[in-house]
A = this chain, B = another copy of it.
Amino acid sequence: MLEPRLLSINQVTLMQQWSLKQAIEGLARHDVAAISVWREKLHELGVAEAARMIEGHGLAVSGLCFAGLITSLDRDEAAKARDDVRRAIDEAARLKARCLVFVAGGVDPRNKDIKATRGRALDGLASIVPHARQAGVKIALEPLHPMICATRSVLSTMKLANEWCDTLAAEDTVGIAVDTYAVWWDPELEPQIARAGKRICAFHISDWLPDTQDLRLDRGMMGDGVIDIPAIRRMVEAAGYTGHREVEIFSARNWWKRDSDEVVRTVKERYQTAV
B-contacting 9-mer, from A9-17, A19-27, A141-149: A141-149
A254, CB-defined interface residue at 8 Å: no
A147 and B226 contact, CB distance less than 8 A: no
A150 and B226 contact, CB distance less than 8 A: yes
Q: How far is the CA of A187 from the CA of B186 in the complex (A)?
A: 13
A149 and B210 contact, CB distance less than 8 A: no
Q: Interface code A168-190, partner B: CB below 8 Å = 1, 0 otherwise? A: 00000000000000001111100
Q: How far is the CA of A160 from the CA of B188 in the complex (A)?
A: 9
Which of B160, B185, B188 is the one whose CB lies under 8 Å from A114?
A: B185
A228, CB-defined interface residue at 8 Å: yes
B210 and A106 contact, CB distance less than 8 A: yes
Q: How far is the CA of A184 from the CA of B146 in the complex (A)?
A: 9
A226 and B109 contact, CB distance less than 8 A: yes
A41, CB-defined interface residue at 8 Å: no
With A156-B186, A156-B187, A185-B156: A147-B112 Cβ-Cβ less than 8 Å: no
Q: How far is the CA of A265 from the CA of B227 in the complex (A)?
A: 43
A146 and B185 contact, CB distance less than 8 A: yes
User: What does DSSP make chain A's interface, helix, strand, loop or mixed?
Assistant: loop
Residues of B within 8 A of A147 (CB): 145-147, 212, 215
Q: How far is the CA of A149 from the CA of B156 in the complex (A)?
A: 15
B146 and A159 contact, CB distance less than 8 A: no
A118, CB-defined interface residue at 8 Å: yes
In A145-163, the 8 Å CB interface with B consists of: 145-147, 149-151, 154, 156-157, 159-160, 163
Q: Interface code A215-247, partner B: CB below 8 Å = 1, 0 otherwise? A: 100000000011110010000000000000000
A113 CB to nearest B CB, Å? 6
A42, CB-defined interface residue at 8 Å: no
Q: How far is the CA of A222 from the CA of B188 in the complex (A)?
A: 30
Q: How far is the CA of A159 from the CA of B185 in the complex (A)?
A: 13
Q: List 22 A-B contacts (CB under 8 A).
A: A107-B226, A109-B210, A112-B227, A112-B231, A113-B228, A114-B228, A118-B187, A145-B146, A145-B147, A146-B185, A146-B186, A147-B147, A147-B212, A147-B215, A149-B185, A150-B185, A150-B209, A156-B185, A156-B186, A157-B187, A160-B187, A163-B187
Q: Top 5 closest A-B pairs, CB basis?
A: A147-B147, A149-B185, A112-B228, A146-B185, A107-B226
| A-to-B contact residues, CB < 8 Å | 106-107, 109, 112-114, 118, 145-147, 149-151, 154, 156-157, 159-160, 163, 184-188, 208-210, 212-213, 215, 225-228, 231
